[in-house]
Structure 1
Amino acid sequence: MNRLLVISIATLLTFAKLASAKDTIEIATFAGGCFWCVESDFENVEGVISAVSGYTGGQMTNPTYRKHGKHIEAVQIRFDPSVVSYTELLEVFWRSIDPTDAGGQFCDRGHSYTTAIFVNSPAQKKSAQTSKAQLQKSKRLPAPVVTPIRDAGHWTDAEDYHQDYYKTHPVRYKFYRFNCGRDSRVKDLWGVEAHRGIRKN
């Protein structure tokens, strides 16, 4: 067979595989308080390709960190469902937040730091509702689960300096996370299940 033809066929097969992989990528959207921390947690979950911090849930066209209206901090997660399922991501999410707190998360108080699951499809909505109902029924937590399940809407990426903050400002990030009491509260709430599915970074 002509060498050039062999190379061309191999190239086409490679592109076909890449296109197929791209078609399987899905998006999950979670709000769990400070988006620096949610982004850091989910980028350390096997099967997650990327996590982007942003604003959603409100009516403003171009929300910012200083002017966000009713938007809340959230993270848009691209994941490979052949490696990690949406249901598994929900389990990671629950065990990395305090789903009983309606006023914010940890040291961050106010609407913009509240939790939410923003579903991107009917299948995600069904999975999220089932997961929340099972958690509530289990009586695993000392208070009712208040995290709402909402339809995903307008999304705005956060400012560049917020993206991968845990990588670009590791010392400041670690000090903030420790000082805010996030990990200690999650550990108190979830015990050995705390941060299940998240690799240590």
Structure 2
Amino acid sequence: MEKFEKATFAGGCFWCMVKPFDQWDGVERIVSGYSGGTLVNPTYEDVKTGKSGHYEVVQITFDPQIMSYEKLLEIYWQQIDPTDAAGQFHDRGDSYRTVIFYHSESQRIAAEKSKEKLATSGKFNKPIITEIKPAATFYPAEDYHQDFYKKNEADYLADREKSGRDEFIQKHWGIK
């Protein structure tokens, strides 16, 4: 039996965090959801109000023999503004902040190393504030949020365009 691992990342709107990971070999599944809060079985409305304490996250099931956790971290950093403590792009509020939730000590170490590497790279002129926390209970989001970029392509593209995310990625990483 193959051994899969999980990676959980908060990077703002989870709609925009699925596609960048979905195109890689070794990524078996990506589920949009909520983590890090106190309310049991939160809904999108609960999370959006900020009262549940949850972050919008993607939980990635991956085969570490094909896709390394370090590569997932590299992809993650290239999708976010790690210097923004108030949310991501046009999505503001605590539920849209950036966090790496680690599932093992080796993931914690890899996440800390990747954060330090980014902090000393000179790529950003502000501190890297993305938190690294132990994985918390994960709650899958409602079905209409899953694979949103595939099921609602026009809405997904419109949201990405108005968010400023793509311009930020292009400016800092040279990725179109």
**Alignment partner for residue 174 of structure 1, among 135, 151, 157?**
157
Aligned to 1:146: 129
Aligned to 1:98: 81
| Distance in 1 of aligned mates of 2:118 and 2:163 | 25
- The answer (yes or no) to whether the contact 1:34–1:113 under 8 Å persists in 2 is yes
Mind listing any 5+ residue stretches in structure 2 that lack a counterpart? none
| Distance in 1 of aligned mates of 2:169 and 2:81 | 7
Structure 1 position 31 matched with structure 2 position 10: yes
The 5-angstrom pairing of residues 47-196 of structure 1 reads 47-68=26-47, 69-190=52-173, 192=174, 194=175
Mind listing any 5+ residue stretches in structure 1 that lack a counterpart? 1-18, 196-201
Q: Deviations over 1:83-104 (max 9, x none)?
A: 1100111011001111111110
Residue 46 of structure 1 and its aligned partner are, at CA, apart by 2.6
**Alignment partner for residue 24 of structure 2, among 42, 45, 67?**
45
| Distance in 1 of aligned mates of 2:8 and 2:64 | 14
Residue 153 of structure 1 and its aligned partner are, at CA, apart by 0.9
**C-alpha root-mean-square deviation of aligned residues, in Å?**
1.1
One-letter identity of the residue aligned with 2:5? E
| Distance in 2 of aligned mates of 1:162 and 1:128 | 27
Residue 146 of structure 1 and its aligned partner are, at CA, apart by 0.5
| Distance in 1 of aligned mates of 2:7 and 2:65 | 14
| Distance in 2 of aligned mates of 1:121 and 1:76 | 14
Secondary structure at the aligned position of 1:100 is classed as coil
Give runs of ≥4 in structure 1 deviating > 3 Å: none
Secondary structure at the aligned position of 1:126 is classed as helix
| Distance in 2 of aligned mates of 1:186 and 1:40 | 14
Structure with the greater alpha carbon radius of gyration: 1
How high is the sequence identity, in percent, across the aligned residues? 47
Residue 189 of structure 1 and its aligned partner are, at CA, apart by 2.3
- The answer (yes or no) to whether the contact 1:98–1:189 under 8 Å persists in 2 is no
One-letter identity of the residue aligned with 2:170? K
- The answer (yes or no) to whether the contact 1:27–1:120 under 8 Å persists in 2 is yes
- The answer (yes or no) to whether the contact 2:101–2:135 under 8 Å persists in 1 is yes
Aligned to 1:15: none
| Distance in 1 of aligned mates of 2:75 and 2:63 | 15
